[in-house]
């Protein structure tokens, strides 16, 4: 499927809600499987990624049934999973394959985890190394980088012991995989990151009674201090911040626009995008703040505004890591140069997002320079209609669609079926706000 996007000549306006946060959704379903009794989860994104995690858990013997506006999960506990009858297909979801690896590490059987052609390019040694140190066996396919492993992965569980692990990357997926394994390990486990990654797992696990302690960028788990049972729970997943970011960006770029996205999760480890845009001069307000299930939530309102140059690096790059391709698209419409640094992690996402973002920008006539750890975008160049390859990456496809709203003429975003992995009603919501998009 392709998208045809026309330059936006009238303002975008309205109030909308985005699908549930898929990061929280993955964790809620997995923690529900680990809990005692029935847990209810409402507002899952409906995207392909979350559905892959639900399907995987069903393959492992977890009973998950639909209920009104959500699902009910019959928890099996840490030792209750059963061998899958065949390999588990994680699709395009890096979160699914990495979190399941940690979940399966203490199980006394082998499981094969695989995915699509894009997932098979993503490095898995970052989870394989700590899980093997804990006592599991992780076998993966060889790839272009010597010493690295890739899907399909074979996870053979074992009796685990605690470790002290210093992670080379700040990654919530790596951290959560280790935390899941640590819940069933003998002895204390500690994980230290170079910078603090998103903390949904720590918030949720602590609320459910897991023995976690957070000290700066270090998380400790002490299994000896609990009965290895998570409490049953009921959770309403907040709106996905990363999805809301595309609508906020569109409102910022299209003259005269005024858009509000309701009930969005504003966890401070996720909201670097808003901080970046505000530093660039965007008009974004946070309204109706409240707290649900340990996660801060608010309505986010964006109005069109001129943007200026900024450098994005360090902790700010980490907190906006998923939105950096979108920030690059916004930067193409700003005045002056914008430099994105400390974002080498983008090289190993669903695509090489540094290269894919540069290609996307150049498709519209924007000027940019690619670096090992990011990009420099020279804003203010007049944009022309482009043909944008998505490289199988939903964020590149959506960022291209947003930038096309400012490009003269009709632009085509190729291979956009992948958008369904995270934001299945992306096109519908933009149309609701008044944008000119059509599928082909």
How far is CA 128 from each of CA 13, 107, 147, 166, 295, rounded to the nearest angstrom? 47, 15, 12, 14, 30
Note the pLDDT of residue 10: 94
- Looking at 311, 322, 337, 373, which residue is catalytic? 322
Strands of 150-156's sheet in order across: 88-89, 110-114, 150-156, 137-141
Task: Count the Cβ atoms, other than its own, within 10 Å of residue 58.
Answer: 14
Note the pLDDT of residue 129: 97
> 213: burial class by Cβ within 10 Å (0-12, 13-18, 19+)?
middle
Fold for 22-236, please state it.
UDP-n-acetylglucosamine1-carboxyvinyl-transferase; Chain (3.65.10)
Statement: 3-20+238-439 belongs to CATH 3.65.10.10:
yes
Distance separating alpha carbons of residues 307 and 428, to the nearest angstrom = 27
Note the pLDDT of residue 350: 74
* Residue 322: active-site member: yes
How far is CA 385 from each of CA 15, 255, 337, 388, 407, rounded to the nearest angstrom? 28, 18, 22, 10, 5
> 287: burial class by Cβ within 10 Å (0-12, 13-18, 19+)?
exposed
Structure tokens at 104: 């399966």
The pTM of this model reads 0.88
Note the pLDDT of residue 105: 97
Angle at 343 between CA 201 and CA 204, to 5 degrees: 5
The residues of the chain scoring below 70 in pLDDT are: 224-225
Hey, is 256 helix, strand or coil?
Answer: coil
Note the pLDDT of residue 233: 95
Distance separating alpha carbons of residues 292 and 70, to the nearest angstrom = 17
Fold match between domain 3-20+238-439 and domain 22-236? yes
Boundaries of every domain in the chain: 3-20+238-439, 22-236
Note the pLDDT of residue 173: 96
Distance separating alpha carbons of residues 131 and 125, to the nearest angstrom = 10
pLDDT digits (tens, 9 = 90+) for 295-351: 899 999 999 999 999 999 998 998 999 899 999 999 999 999 999 999 998 887 878
């Amino acid at each position: 499927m392709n998208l045809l996007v026309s330059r936006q000549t009238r303002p975008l306006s309205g109030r909308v809600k985005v699908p549930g946060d898929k990061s929280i959704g993955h964790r809620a379903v997995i923690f529900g499987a680990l809990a005692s009794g029935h847990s209810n989860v409402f507002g899952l994104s409906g995207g392909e990624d979350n559905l892959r995690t639900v399907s995987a858990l069903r393959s492992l013997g977890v009973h998950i049934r639909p209920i009104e506006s959500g699902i009910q999960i019959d928890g099996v506990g840490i030792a209750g999973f059963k061998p899958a009858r065949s390999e588990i297909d994680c699709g395009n979801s890096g979160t699914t394959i990495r979190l399941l690896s940690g979940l399966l590490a203490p199980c006394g059987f082998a499981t094969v985890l695989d995915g699509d052609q894009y997932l098979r390019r993503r490095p898995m040694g970052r989870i394989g190394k700590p899980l093997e140190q804990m006592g599991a066996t992780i076998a993966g396919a060889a790839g272009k980088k010597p010493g690295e492993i890739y899907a399909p992965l074979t996870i053979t569980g074992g009796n685990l012991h605690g470790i002290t692990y210093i992670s080379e990357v700040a990654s919530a997926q790596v951290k959560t995989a280790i935390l899941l394994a640590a819940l069933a390990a003998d002895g204390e486990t500690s994980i230290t990151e170079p910078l603090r990654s998103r903390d949904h797992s720590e918030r949720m696990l602590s609320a459910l009674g897991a023995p976690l302690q957070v000290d700066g960028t270090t998380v400790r788990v002490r299994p000896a201090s609990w009965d290895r049972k998570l409490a049953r729970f009921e959770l309403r997943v907040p709106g996905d911040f990363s999805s809301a970011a595309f609508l906020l960006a569109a409102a910022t770029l299209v003259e005269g626009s005024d858009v509000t996205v309701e009930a969005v999760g504003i966890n401070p480890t996720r909201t670097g995008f808003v901080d970046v845009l505000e530093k660039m001069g965007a008009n974004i307000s946070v309204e109706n703040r409240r707290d649900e299930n340990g996660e801060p939530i608010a309505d986010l309102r964006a109005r069109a505004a001129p943007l200026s140059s900024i450098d994005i690096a360090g902790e700010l790059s980490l907190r906006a890591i998923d939105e950096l391709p979108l920030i690059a698209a916004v930067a193409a419409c700003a005045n002056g140069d914008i430099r994105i640094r400390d974002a080498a992690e983008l090289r190993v996402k669903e695509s090489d997002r540094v290269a894919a973002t540069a290609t996307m920008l150049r498709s519209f006539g924007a000027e940019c320079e690619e670096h090992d750890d990011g990009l420099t975008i020279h804003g203010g160049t007049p944009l022309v209609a482009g043909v944008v390859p998505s490289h199988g990456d939903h964020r590149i496809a959506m960022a291209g669609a947003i930038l096309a709203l400012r490009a003269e003429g009709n632009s085509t975003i190729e291979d956009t079926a992948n958008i369904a992995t995270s934001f299945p009603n992306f096109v519908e919501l933009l149309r609701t706000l008044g944008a000119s998009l059509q599928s082909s």
